[in-house]
Structure 1
Amino acid sequence: MSKQSTTRLAHIFKHWPQDPVRPSSVSVQTYLQARIPKSEGGAADEPNSSLSESSVNALYSLLNNRYSKRYPLPMKLRYPASDPEHYDAVAREFEEAPTRTWWERVQKRLSGMIRFQ
């Protein structure tokens, strides 16, 4: 792995957003940290300790949202006529879920089971 790739990988590691729902043991940061060489001598020579140049480029393009900028979602797909607020509710749920108390989780589960029409 070249020095430039190592620098780019360290930048990706530093700026990759944290996922509050995913456990830290399987997070992207943990995966990347295991791939950043510790020094030029020892860890860089191990075959599984680094990523290929194309993998680093792919991660960098994901970090910069290159694909969502090049191929934006149509508004009909983002806000379907059947339930325009669905994806906003899903995003809100992912933001709120990690900070809920035990009682709030029970209330949310019960409200999902019982529906009044």
Structure 2
Amino acid sequence: MATTIAKQYTRLLALWPKDALRPTLPFTRAIEHRAAPFGVQPITPIPQDSKTKPSAPAPSNPPPSTPPNPQLEQSQVNALFSLLDDRYSKKYALSPGVLKPTSAPEHYTNLMEEIERAPQKTWWQAKLDEWKMKIRWS
């Protein structure tokens, strides 16, 4: 059973989408931490600070005091697969009015466009956009 859990965690890590907004803090690290007791090796490289020189390896987390229960872990794996399959947004679909409120019908469209542009912005472009948002043009 434990090898099945390890295989499922490995598959989850391979299929999980990359986080473009926070590439240094992906959710896959949490999955890797959860899967470590089952022998799953991390696939996400941990970024090194350019200011710190490499020294002794960082201490690893101590093993849990009790071994993980594969039956309980299977429910956690199933929950992650349901998130990956987008099961809940399919089951509980939003009405079109929720994403296009009458007060600002283009709000969520603009928000998604901004999120898609954010990873390609330079620091200066991000600051400029931040200042533009603080100034009210009437």
Both structures adopt the same fold (TM-score exceeding 0.5) = yes
Counterpart Cα distance in 1 of 2:32 and 2:66: 15
Matched, 1:11 2:11: yes
Which among 87, 99, 107 is matched to residue 120 of structure 2?
99
Look up the match of 2:31. 32
**Using the alignment, how far apart are the partners of 1:57 and 1:19 within structure 2?**
21
SS of 1:80's equivalent in the other structure is coil
Q: Deviations over 1:27-57 (max 9, x none)?
A: 2111112233327xxx8x9646x87111110
Match 2:87 to one of 55, 66, 70: 66
Name 1:85's counterpart in structure 2.
Answer: 106
- The one-letter amino acid paired with 2:117 is E
Deviation string 1:59-93 (CA, Å, 9 cap, x unpaired) is 00110111111111111111111111111222222
1:110 paired residue number: 131
Q: CA RMSD, aligned part only?
A: 2.6
5+ residue gaps in structure 2?
41-62
| Worse overlay, 70-79 or 95-104 | 95-104
Richer in helix (by share): 1
Superposition misfits of 4+ residues, deviation over 6 angstroms:
none
- SS in structure 2 at match of 1:19: coil
